[in-house]
Each structure stands twice: as structure tokens, then as C-alpha cells.
Structure 1
Amino acid sequence: MGSMDGRTALVTGASRGIGQRIAERFAAEGAAVAVVARTAEPGTSALPGSIEEVVAGISERGGRAAAIRADLTVPAEVETIVTRAEEALGPIDTLVNNAGVNFYGPALDIRPNRYALMFQMMVHTPFRLCQLAIPGMIERGHGWILNITSKQARHPLGPPYPDWAADGCVPYGMCKSALDRLTTGLAAEVYGTGVRINCLGTSGLVMTPGVAVVSPHTPDNTPVEPDDAMAEAAVVLCNSHADTGRIAYSMELLGRPFPDGPWALSATY
């Protein structure tokens, strides 16, 4: 018996990285999982991983999953995600807004189209998916929303400012700050309905396929986080009946120390 037996989860950005790990862990805990991302098939992205591969792996291990291909920067496609997932697997009672994107560089140099794309994927789309999923959760009397945040959402203390405050992540941090506020605000609005809404971020570097792309832009000497920490923390928060409106970080939530070495470039996913 798993901790999520009989549940149905929807995880965005689940073709690789943290989203894939959360989807696979939820399936191992007994949930049926809608695996959502833009990359449907192997070899159609510059990065490894696809939703078809993730679903195949879950199925091979005896789990139940469905591939839901959608571009999360296109509002018309976002509108269909919850309906398609529920048609395939049944009513959604767990939503993980994980998909993200970052363009590093000084805030004054970020092109408007990139800024708009980041906000669409990491703010507007999670907001809309919450609007689409929460009414059904309220009707059924239970549900869990988990928004994946970042320590980049925190305000840097200064002056003088720490090095990380000028590492080219201002728009990304703005998006994650908005996601944090969405989480706490929605948690307050639906409090007492049985729907719990929380944020979860990494405590350190997670070795995802995207790290090779972003690591040259990030400072040194931050510990590497174990691969399973985010997925384990996600299971904790998506089974809790007490936590809501919480902004948590994986290793701290789990009470786990960082392992001794290796130390690596700092990135937050």
C-alpha cells in the first residue's frame, strides 16, 4: 500500500528533471499520474527526456500514467490540460506546478519576449491551472496543490549585497516571488475546504539535465542536493492534512543534512 493509493496527480514539466522524479515517486506511492510537458517523444528536444519515456517507465514498474502533451506558454493549450488529464485518469486531486524556464543575464538586458515567456510559464499558467483544478477539489472535499518555488524569490539583504543577488536571476526571482504569493493567498482563500496549497523549493543544486546549460552563470560553493530530496519532500507535503500556505525547502523540510561533498555550482530549480 502506498501513501497515494487511489489518488490522481497532474505534474507539469515532467519530461525530465525534478518534475520527472516527482511524477515517478507519486506513481510509486500508488497515484495515477498525468505527465505534462511540451516534449512528447524522444529526440524532439535539445535536452534528454520526454513524457512518453516517463510514462513508459512508470507503466513498466506497474504504475498508471498518461502523457499529456502541452506547451505551457500557450494559453489555449493550458486550458485543455486538466480536462484531458481527467478524461484519461479521473478527477485530479493533486496538482504540481513544476514547469519553469530561465534566461540568465542582467535585468536591464532581458528581452521583453523572454520576460513575457517566463511570466507566462511560471506565473500565469500555474494560476490558471489552479483555477481549473481547485473547484473540483473543493467539491470533493480534498485536494493538494504544490507549487515549485526557488530561493531566488527571497529578497537579498544589503547593501552590501551578496554575490548571488547579482547573478542574473531578477526576472526568475520575480516569477517565483509571485508564485509564493499565489500560494499563500490561495491557501487563505480556500482554507477550510479540504484543499491544501504549498510551495516547495530546492535547498541546493539538483543535478538535472538543465544544470549543464545554466551552471556557468551561477556562483560556486553550494552543496549538491540528493536526487531524491525534492520528490520525497513533495510526497510529504502532498499527504499532509495540516500544512497549507507553507513555503518550504526540501532538505530543511525533511530534516536531512547535506552529504559531505561534492560541492558544486549553485542553481535552483
Structure 2
Amino acid sequence: MDMEYLKQFSLDGKVALVTGAAYGIGFAIAKAYAKAGAKIAFNCRGEKHMEEALAAYKAEGIEAKGYYCDVTKEDEVQKMVADIEKELGTIDILVNNAGIIKRIPMLEMSAEDFRQVVDIDLNAPFIVSKAVIPGMLKKGHGKIINICSMMSELGRETVSAYAAAKGGLKMLTRNICSEYGNANIQCNGIGPGYIATPQTAPLRTPGHPFNEFILAKTPANRWGTTEDLEGPAIFLASDASNFVNGHILYVDGGILAYIGKQP
């Protein structure tokens, strides 16, 4: 195998900030980046999460640096980015992964709950991107990856705030591409399908109606794994994607391409 060819996928010496990477999808992406050679920074809001996350990275043999930061607060984000630049170097790769979902029917959802979801899932990626872009401009390159969702394209009962935020995040992705593409900054999104995590374990038991629903809607006929996201995340963070910009890569086993089985 030509190792020179594989070098375009290397993240050797790059500095990556992955928000909300204490566990789940963010942790999986950060772990993949570390294995591809990147230095990892992540944020947490609470001490317990921070301790658990640092222990999890250590168990994987990864020297990740954790920062206390609420990504919805611009002053905290600016301080975190300045600290990362001092301690690790200018950020080459940003993954806006931190997010929440509140499953509440629209008529029962308070405006306060709606605002909170939009604040974390849409305003925070704007705030963090705004903080890292100046360093990328100075360096002459950068990669921003927004963790979108199939709800960037589809609606579903009880997720009005989440779908609105993730649809907005898709368009923020395209707009960052539009504004900063000429500065060699690529901004793309990943839209995960239904991913097997500890949180979804109760839904994935054979015979569970939701499990049957997802399998029937997915041409791959299985749930995704966090490992399924690693290759796409490395691709979008590496030189292999230098002419890919403003794109949302859906890693969904084909759900968005498929109308579903006839009942």
C-alpha cells in the first residue's frame, strides 16, 4: 500500500477542539482524531463529567485536555480558545458536537425550553466558530465540522426545537463555507442516523416497536455505531476533503434515500 497516499488522511500535529466530547458521539470522534495524530481539547460544564471524561481518555491512552466552558457563553468560549492556543497551539479542527434534545409536543413546550435547545444546538456553534475562525485565518487553513442530524432534513413529532436548530445548523454550515471558503476554511456537517449508544439500548431490544421501526426505515437494516462515524469525521478534518465545503454528509445507513417498506 502506498503510505504517501494515506498521508492526506493524517491529522498528525493538528489541534482539534471537540465540544461536548465527554462521552457518546463527541468522545468517539475525538478518540478517532487522537488515533489519527491530533492533539485533543474538549469542554465540560461540570466537575463530575470532567473527571469521568479524563479517565475515559486516559483508559484509551489519549492525552486529552479538558476545559471548563459553557459553549453558550461567549466570554467563556473566547477564554477557552485563548487557553487552547497557549497550551496546545492554534486550533486546526473544530467539531461543534455539544447538543441537547427535548422531546416535548409543540403545544406543551414552553418558549423557554425551545430557546434553550436552540441556544445549545445552534447559537453555541456560531459562538465557538466565531472564536476559532480568527486563528484559522492567521494560519491560512481550518476545518469546522458541525454535528447536524437527520432532523436537519426531516421533521418528527415532539422535536420542534431540535429540528429547527439542526435545520439552522445546516444553513450556518453553508454560510460559514460561503464567507470563509476563500480563506481555505472548509465547513461541513455530519448528520448521524440512529446510532447505538448506551442511551438507546432499551429501544434496541428485538421486538421493541421503535427498534422495528428504525430497522424497517434503514436500508442497511441495522443501527449505526459510533465507529461508523469515525471515517467520515477523519475525512472531513483531513486534507483529503480540501475541496469539500458546505456539504452535509449523512451517515444514516440510507434512511434519507429510502421511502420505507410497504406495511
Scaled by the length of structure 2, the TM-score of the pair is: 0.80
Aligned to 2:213: 221
Aligned residue for 1:248? 249
SS of the aligned residue for 1:197 comes to: strand
Task: State whether residues 96 and 147 of structure 1, in contact with CA within 8 Å, keep that contact through their aligned partners in structure 2.
Answer: yes
Question: Which residue in 2 is equivalent to 1:129?
Answer: 128
Letter in 2 for 1:242: F
Partner of 1:189: 179
Deviates more, 1:143-152 or 1:62-71: 62-71
More helix per residue: 1 or 2? 2
Instruction: Please tell me whether the aligned partners of residues 15 and 37 of structure 1 are also in contact (alpha carbons under 8 angstroms).
Output: yes
- The answer to whether structure 1 residue 38 and structure 2 residue 45 are counterparts is yes
- Which whole-Å CA distance do the structure 1 matches of 2:99 and 2:247 have between them? 20
Contact 1:66–1:88 under 8 Å retained in 2: no
- Correspondence for 2:33: 26
Which residue does 1:64 correspond to in 2? 63
The Cα shift of 1:251 comes to 4.9
- Alignment partner for residue 180 of structure 1, among 148, 170, 182? 170
Query: Is contact 1:167-1:218 (8 Å) kept?
Result: no
Cα offset, 1:70, TM superposition: 1.8
Structure-to-structure mapping, 1:46-195, within 5 angstroms: 50-59=49-58, 61-155=60-154, 165-195=155-185
TM-score (norm 1): 0.79
Change (3 A) 1:15 1:213: farther
User: How many residues are treated as equivalent by the alignment?
Assistant: 236
Q: What are the Cα deviations for residues 104-149 of structure 1, in whole angstroms up to 9, with x where unaligned?
A: 1211221122111111111111101111101111111111000000
Quick check: 2:72–2:127 contact (8 Å CA) kept in 1? no
CA-to-aligned-CA distance 1:229-258 (integer Å, 9 cap, x gap): 112211111111121100111256xxxx89
Q: Is the 8 A contact 2:77 2:131 kept in 1?
A: no
- Does the CA-based 8 Å contact 1:168-1:217 persist in structure 2? no
Deviations 1:152-188, CA, capped at 9 Å, x for gaps:
1215xxxxxxxxx442111100000110000001101
Which sections of structure 1, spanning at least 5 residues, go unmatched? 42-49, 156-164, 259-269
Alignment partners' CA distance in 2, 1:238 and 1:81 = 21
CA distance in 2, matches of 1:174, 1:66: 32
Tell me by how many angstroms 1:32 deviates: 0.4
2:71, 2:127 within 8 Å by CA — same for their partners in 1?
A: no
Contact 2:190/2:250, CA 8 A, preserved across alignment: yes
**Counterpart-to-counterpart distance in 2, 1:150 and 1:88:** 32
Residue identity (%): 31
- The letter of the residue matching 1:140 is K
Correspondence for 1:16 among 23, 48, 53: 23
Q: Please give the secondary structure, in 1, of the residue aligned with 2:171.
A: helix
Aligned equivalents of 1:9, 1:182: Cα separation in 2: 20
Q: CA deviation at 1:74?
A: 3.8
* 1:249 partner amino acid: Y
Is this contact kept in 1: 2:72–2:124, CA < 8 A? Answer: yes
CA distance in 1 between counterparts of 2:123 and 2:223 reads 30
1:62 to partner: Cα distance: 4.5
- Distance in 1 (alpha carbons) for counterparts of 2:102 and 2:209: 10
CA distance, structure 1, for counterparts of residue 98 and residue 75 of structure 2:
17
Tell me if the contact between 1:107 and 1:168 (Cα under 8 Å) persists in the aligned partners: yes
String of CA shifts for 1:203-262, please: whole Å, max 9, x gaps: x3212244369999968521310230112211111111121100111256xxxx89xxxx
